[in-house]
Protein backbone atom coordinates (compact mmCIF):
# COMPACT_ATOMS: atom_id res chain seq x y z
CA UNK A 1 0.00 0.00 0.00
CA UNK A 2 1.34 3.45 -0.87
CA UNK A 3 2.16 5.76 2.00
CA UNK A 4 -0.96 7.75 2.75
CA UNK A 5 -3.27 8.75 5.55
CA UNK A 6 -5.42 5.75 4.57
CA UNK A 7 -2.46 3.43 5.10
CA UNK A 8 -1.53 5.07 8.39
CA UNK A 9 -5.09 4.84 9.72
CA UNK A 10 -5.45 1.22 8.56
CA UNK A 11 -2.25 0.15 10.33
CA UNK A 12 -3.13 2.10 13.48
CA UNK A 13 -6.56 0.48 13.59
CA UNK A 14 -5.03 -2.96 12.98
CA UNK A 15 -2.86 -2.60 16.08
CA UNK A 16 -5.95 -1.52 18.00
CA UNK A 17 -7.87 -4.55 16.69
CA UNK A 18 -5.14 -6.89 17.89
CA UNK A 19 -5.23 -5.33 21.36
CA UNK A 20 -9.03 -5.54 21.53
CA UNK A 21 -8.85 -9.20 20.50
CA UNK A 22 -6.30 -9.86 23.24
CA UNK A 23 -8.63 -8.12 25.73
CA UNK A 24 -11.47 -10.48 24.82
CA UNK A 25 -13.61 -8.07 22.78
CA UNK A 26 -15.91 -9.88 20.33
CA UNK A 27 -15.37 -9.79 16.57
CA UNK A 28 -18.28 -7.50 15.70
CA UNK A 29 -17.35 -4.92 18.35
CA UNK A 30 -13.77 -4.95 17.03
CA UNK A 31 -15.14 -4.35 13.52
CA UNK A 32 -17.31 -1.48 14.72
CA UNK A 33 -14.35 0.21 16.42
CA UNK A 34 -11.60 -0.46 13.87
CA UNK A 35 -13.17 -1.75 10.62
CA UNK A 36 -10.98 -4.85 11.05
CA UNK A 37 -12.41 -8.31 11.72
CA UNK A 38 -11.43 -11.98 11.59
CA UNK A 39 -13.08 -14.48 9.27
CA UNK A 40 -14.01 -17.99 10.40
CA UNK A 41 -10.41 -19.14 9.80
CA UNK A 42 -8.91 -16.35 11.88
CA UNK A 43 -7.68 -14.31 8.88
CA UNK A 44 -7.72 -10.55 9.58
CA UNK A 45 -9.65 -8.52 6.97
CA UNK A 46 -11.24 -5.13 6.50
CA UNK A 47 -13.89 -3.96 4.07
CA UNK A 48 -13.38 -0.92 1.88
CA UNK A 49 -16.24 0.94 0.25
CA UNK A 50 -17.06 0.03 -3.38
CA UNK A 51 -19.63 2.78 -3.95
CA UNK A 52 -17.04 4.91 -5.78
CA UNK A 53 -16.50 2.41 -8.62
CA UNK A 54 -17.13 3.95 -12.04
CA UNK A 55 -16.80 2.80 -15.64
CA UNK A 56 -14.56 5.43 -17.23
CA UNK A 57 -14.93 4.61 -20.91
CA UNK A 58 -17.32 3.04 -23.38
CA UNK A 59 -16.68 -0.68 -23.67
CA UNK A 60 -17.04 -2.57 -26.93
CA UNK A 61 -18.01 -6.19 -27.42
CA UNK A 62 -15.24 -8.67 -28.25
CA UNK A 63 -12.56 -6.32 -26.94
CA UNK A 64 -9.84 -6.53 -24.28
CA UNK A 65 -8.82 -3.77 -21.85
CA UNK A 66 -6.61 -3.28 -18.82
CA UNK A 67 -8.70 -3.00 -15.65
CA UNK A 68 -7.14 0.40 -14.86
CA UNK A 69 -8.40 1.68 -18.23
CA UNK A 70 -12.07 0.82 -17.70
CA UNK A 71 -12.78 1.52 -14.02
CA UNK A 72 -11.90 4.07 -11.37
CA UNK A 73 -12.06 3.21 -7.68
CA UNK A 74 -11.04 5.28 -4.66
CA UNK A 75 -9.08 2.49 -2.95
CA UNK A 76 -8.67 -0.58 -5.16
CA UNK A 77 -5.48 0.20 -7.06
CA UNK A 78 -3.87 1.80 -4.01
CA UNK A 79 -4.41 -1.41 -2.05
CA UNK A 80 -3.79 -3.86 -4.91
CA UNK A 81 -1.72 -2.19 -7.66
CA UNK A 82 -1.20 -5.54 -9.41
CA UNK A 83 -4.88 -5.54 -10.33
CA UNK A 84 -4.40 -2.51 -12.60
CA UNK A 85 -2.85 -4.59 -15.36
CA UNK A 86 -5.36 -7.46 -15.30
CA UNK A 87 -6.77 -8.04 -18.78
CA UNK A 88 -10.55 -7.71 -18.96
CA UNK A 89 -11.84 -9.48 -22.09
CA UNK A 90 -15.40 -9.23 -23.35
CA UNK A 91 -16.58 -12.27 -25.28
CA UNK A 92 -19.62 -14.31 -26.20
CA UNK A 93 -19.64 -16.83 -23.36
CA UNK A 94 -22.07 -19.39 -21.97
CA UNK A 95 -21.27 -18.15 -18.48
CA UNK A 96 -21.21 -14.57 -17.28
CA UNK A 97 -17.60 -14.21 -16.09
CA UNK A 98 -14.42 -16.19 -15.52
CA UNK A 99 -11.20 -15.37 -13.67
CA UNK A 100 -7.88 -16.93 -14.71
CA UNK A 101 -5.33 -16.22 -11.98
CA UNK A 102 -2.33 -17.58 -13.85
CA UNK A 103 -2.98 -15.50 -16.97
CA UNK A 104 -4.13 -12.46 -14.94
CA UNK A 105 -7.30 -12.31 -16.96
CA UNK A 106 -11.01 -11.84 -16.34
CA UNK A 107 -13.43 -12.79 -19.10
CA UNK A 108 -16.86 -11.14 -19.16
CA UNK A 109 -19.89 -12.11 -21.24
CA UNK A 110 -20.76 -9.49 -23.86
CA UNK A 111 -24.38 -9.65 -22.69
CA UNK A 112 -23.46 -7.88 -19.43
CA UNK A 113 -22.58 -4.72 -21.34
CA UNK A 114 -26.28 -3.86 -21.58
CA UNK A 115 -26.53 -3.31 -17.79
CA UNK A 116 -23.72 -1.12 -16.46
CA UNK A 117 -24.55 -1.64 -12.79
CA UNK A 118 -24.70 -5.41 -13.21
CA UNK A 119 -21.40 -5.23 -15.07
CA UNK A 120 -19.77 -3.31 -12.21
CA UNK A 121 -21.18 -5.78 -9.69
CA UNK A 122 -19.83 -8.71 -11.71
CA UNK A 123 -16.41 -7.04 -11.96
CA UNK A 124 -16.37 -6.58 -8.17
CA UNK A 125 -17.29 -10.26 -7.76
CA UNK A 126 -14.34 -11.31 -9.93
CA UNK A 127 -11.97 -8.73 -8.42
CA UNK A 128 -12.78 -10.12 -4.96
CA UNK A 129 -11.74 -13.58 -6.21
CA UNK A 130 -8.39 -12.10 -7.30
CA UNK A 131 -7.93 -10.40 -3.92
CA UNK A 132 -8.60 -13.73 -2.20
CA UNK A 133 -5.89 -15.29 -4.35
CA UNK A 134 -3.40 -12.47 -3.67
CA UNK A 135 -4.02 -12.54 0.09
CA UNK A 136 -4.14 -16.34 0.46
CA UNK A 137 -7.74 -16.20 1.66
CA UNK A 138 -10.32 -18.94 1.13
CA UNK A 139 -11.28 -18.74 -2.55
CA UNK A 140 -13.88 -20.21 -4.91
CA UNK A 141 -15.02 -23.66 -5.87
CA UNK A 142 -17.01 -25.49 -8.53
CA UNK A 143 -20.70 -26.38 -8.31
CA UNK A 144 -19.97 -29.70 -10.00
CA UNK A 145 -18.05 -30.64 -6.84
CA UNK A 146 -21.31 -30.29 -4.93
CA UNK A 147 -23.76 -27.46 -4.42
CA UNK A 148 -23.74 -27.97 -0.66
CA UNK A 149 -19.98 -27.54 -0.68
CA UNK A 150 -20.31 -24.50 -2.93
CA UNK A 151 -22.95 -22.88 -0.70
CA UNK A 152 -20.76 -23.34 2.39
CA UNK A 153 -17.51 -22.20 0.79
CA UNK A 154 -16.36 -18.98 2.45
CA UNK A 155 -14.71 -17.70 -0.72
CA UNK A 156 -17.96 -17.94 -2.66
CA UNK A 157 -20.00 -16.50 0.19
CA UNK A 158 -17.62 -13.54 0.37
CA UNK A 159 -17.63 -12.68 -3.35
CA UNK A 160 -21.41 -12.99 -3.59
CA UNK A 161 -21.85 -10.81 -0.51
CA UNK A 162 -19.39 -8.26 -1.93
CA UNK A 163 -21.45 -7.98 -5.11
CA UNK A 164 -24.76 -7.87 -3.23
CA UNK A 165 -23.58 -5.11 -0.87
CA UNK A 166 -22.68 -3.02 -3.94
CA UNK A 167 -25.93 -3.83 -5.78
CA UNK A 168 -27.89 -2.83 -2.66
CA UNK A 169 -26.28 0.63 -2.79
CA UNK A 170 -24.79 0.34 0.68
CA UNK A 171 -23.29 3.58 1.94
CA UNK A 172 -20.28 3.70 4.27
CA UNK A 173 -22.72 4.03 7.17
CA UNK A 174 -24.73 1.01 5.97
CA UNK A 175 -21.57 -1.05 5.70
CA UNK A 176 -20.62 -0.28 9.29
CA UNK A 177 -24.06 -1.18 10.64
CA UNK A 178 -24.56 -4.34 8.55
CA UNK A 179 -21.76 -6.85 9.06
CA UNK A 180 -20.32 -8.60 5.98
CA UNK A 181 -20.97 -12.33 5.92
CA UNK A 182 -17.24 -13.12 6.02
CA UNK A 183 -17.04 -11.54 9.50
CA UNK A 184 -19.56 -14.01 10.94
CA UNK A 185 -18.77 -17.32 12.62
CA UNK A 186 -21.45 -19.02 10.50
CA UNK A 187 -21.55 -17.06 7.23
CA UNK A 188 -24.42 -17.73 4.84
CA UNK A 189 -24.39 -17.53 1.06
CA UNK A 190 -26.94 -14.95 -0.14
CA UNK A 191 -28.44 -17.52 -2.56
CA UNK A 192 -28.03 -20.56 -0.32
CA UNK A 193 -31.61 -21.86 -0.54
CA UNK A 194 -31.68 -21.36 -4.31
CA UNK A 195 -28.40 -23.25 -4.70
CA UNK A 196 -29.38 -26.23 -2.54
CA UNK A 197 -32.81 -26.52 -4.15
CA UNK A 198 -31.11 -27.49 -7.44
CA UNK A 199 -29.30 -30.54 -6.02
CA UNK A 200 -30.11 -33.85 -7.71
CA UNK A 201 -29.24 -37.45 -6.89
CA UNK A 202 -25.99 -37.34 -8.82
CA UNK A 203 -24.84 -34.23 -6.98
CA UNK A 204 -25.75 -35.75 -3.62
CA UNK A 205 -23.69 -38.82 -4.54
CA UNK A 206 -20.78 -36.61 -5.56
CA UNK A 207 -20.92 -34.91 -2.17
CA UNK A 208 -20.59 -38.30 -0.54
CA UNK A 209 -17.65 -39.24 -2.76
CA UNK A 210 -15.79 -36.06 -1.88
CA UNK A 211 -16.46 -36.70 1.80
CA UNK A 212 -14.75 -40.08 1.42
CA UNK A 213 -11.93 -39.39 -1.02
CA UNK A 214 -10.90 -35.86 -0.09
CA UNK A 215 -11.92 -35.77 3.54
CA UNK A 216 -13.88 -32.58 2.89
CA UNK A 217 -17.57 -32.42 3.63
CA UNK A 218 -18.56 -28.87 2.74
CA UNK A 219 -15.40 -26.97 1.86
CA UNK A 220 -11.64 -27.27 1.81
CA UNK A 221 -10.27 -27.06 5.33
CA UNK A 222 -8.03 -24.09 6.08
CA UNK A 223 -6.11 -23.70 9.31
CA UNK A 224 -3.59 -21.05 8.39
CA UNK A 225 -2.74 -20.25 12.02
CA UNK A 226 -2.18 -23.90 12.93
CA UNK A 227 1.49 -24.80 13.21
CA UNK A 228 0.60 -28.31 11.94
CA UNK A 229 -0.08 -26.91 8.46
CA UNK A 230 1.63 -27.18 5.09
CA UNK A 231 1.14 -25.40 1.78
CA UNK A 232 -0.18 -27.56 -1.06
CA UNK A 233 -0.33 -25.90 -4.50
CA UNK A 234 -0.99 -22.50 -2.94
CA UNK A 235 -3.60 -23.85 -0.51
CA UNK A 236 -3.26 -24.31 3.24
CA UNK A 237 -4.13 -27.83 4.38
CA UNK A 238 -3.82 -29.44 7.83
CA UNK A 239 -1.42 -32.35 7.82
CA UNK A 240 -2.76 -35.70 8.97
CA UNK A 241 -6.13 -34.39 10.15
CA UNK A 242 -8.16 -35.85 7.29
CA UNK A 243 -6.55 -39.23 6.81
CA UNK A 244 -4.33 -40.85 4.18
CA UNK A 245 -7.03 -41.02 1.50
CA UNK A 246 -7.58 -37.27 1.48
CA UNK A 247 -3.84 -36.64 1.14
CA UNK A 248 -3.64 -39.10 -1.77
CA UNK A 249 -6.56 -37.60 -3.67
CA UNK A 250 -5.70 -33.93 -2.98
CA UNK A 251 -2.85 -33.65 -5.46
CA UNK A 252 -4.59 -31.33 -7.87
CA UNK A 253 -3.77 -27.62 -7.84
CA UNK A 254 -6.36 -25.01 -7.02
CA UNK A 255 -9.06 -25.15 -9.72
CA UNK A 256 -12.16 -23.23 -8.81
CA UNK A 257 -15.45 -22.30 -10.35
CA UNK A 258 -18.30 -20.27 -8.95
CA UNK A 259 -22.04 -20.34 -9.46
CA UNK A 260 -23.60 -16.95 -10.34
CA UNK A 261 -22.24 -17.42 -13.89
CA UNK A 262 -18.77 -16.86 -12.47
CA UNK A 263 -15.69 -19.02 -12.38
CA UNK A 264 -12.02 -18.80 -11.50
CA UNK A 265 -9.09 -21.01 -12.47
CA UNK A 266 -5.34 -21.11 -11.96
CA UNK A 267 -4.83 -21.54 -15.69
CA UNK A 268 -6.82 -22.67 -18.70
CA UNK A 269 -4.83 -25.88 -19.27
CA UNK A 270 -6.04 -27.29 -15.95
CA UNK A 271 -9.73 -27.09 -16.86
CA UNK A 272 -9.84 -30.13 -19.18
CA UNK A 273 -7.83 -32.19 -16.70
CA UNK A 274 -10.31 -31.38 -13.93
CA UNK A 275 -13.35 -32.12 -16.14
CA UNK A 276 -11.93 -35.53 -17.07
CA UNK A 277 -11.34 -36.39 -13.41
CA UNK A 278 -14.81 -35.23 -12.41
CA UNK A 279 -16.44 -37.23 -15.21
CA UNK A 280 -14.94 -40.35 -13.66
CA UNK A 281 -16.51 -39.47 -10.31
CA UNK A 282 -19.86 -38.79 -12.00
CA UNK A 283 -19.72 -42.25 -13.60
CA UNK A 284 -19.01 -43.88 -10.24
CA UNK A 285 -21.88 -41.93 -8.66
CA UNK A 286 -24.22 -42.97 -11.48
CA UNK A 287 -23.58 -46.70 -11.23
CA UNK A 288 -23.90 -46.57 -7.47
Q: Distance (Å, rounded) from C-alpha 75 to C-alpha 53?
A: 9
Burial 110-128, CB ≥16 within 10 A → b, else e: eebbeeeeebbbbbbbbbb
Mean pLDDT, rounded, of the chain: 77
Domain boundaries, the chain: 1-38, 47-288
| Predicted structure pTM score | 0.74
Query: Do residues 48 and 10 touch, judged by C-beta distance below 8 A?
Result: no
63 Cβ partners below 8 Å, 6+ apart?
Answer: 89, 90
Give the pLDDT score at 82: 92
DSSP state for residue 229 in the 8-state scheme: E
Q: What is the mean pLDDT of residues 143-165?
A: 87
d(CA 99, CA 151): 19
Please enumerate in sequence order all residues whose Cβ is within 8 A of that of 17, keeping only pairs 6 or more positions apart, or say none. 30, 33, 34, 36, 37, 44
**pLDDT of 274 above 90:** no
Amino acid sequence: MKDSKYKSDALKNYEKALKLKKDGVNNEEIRQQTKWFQDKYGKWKFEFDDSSIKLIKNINKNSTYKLKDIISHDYLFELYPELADYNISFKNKQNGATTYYGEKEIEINNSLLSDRKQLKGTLLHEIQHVIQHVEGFNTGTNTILGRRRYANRLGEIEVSDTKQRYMNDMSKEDRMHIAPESSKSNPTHPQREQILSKMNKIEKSLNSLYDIFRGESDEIIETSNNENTKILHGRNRPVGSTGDKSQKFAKQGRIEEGLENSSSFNNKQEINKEIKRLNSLIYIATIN
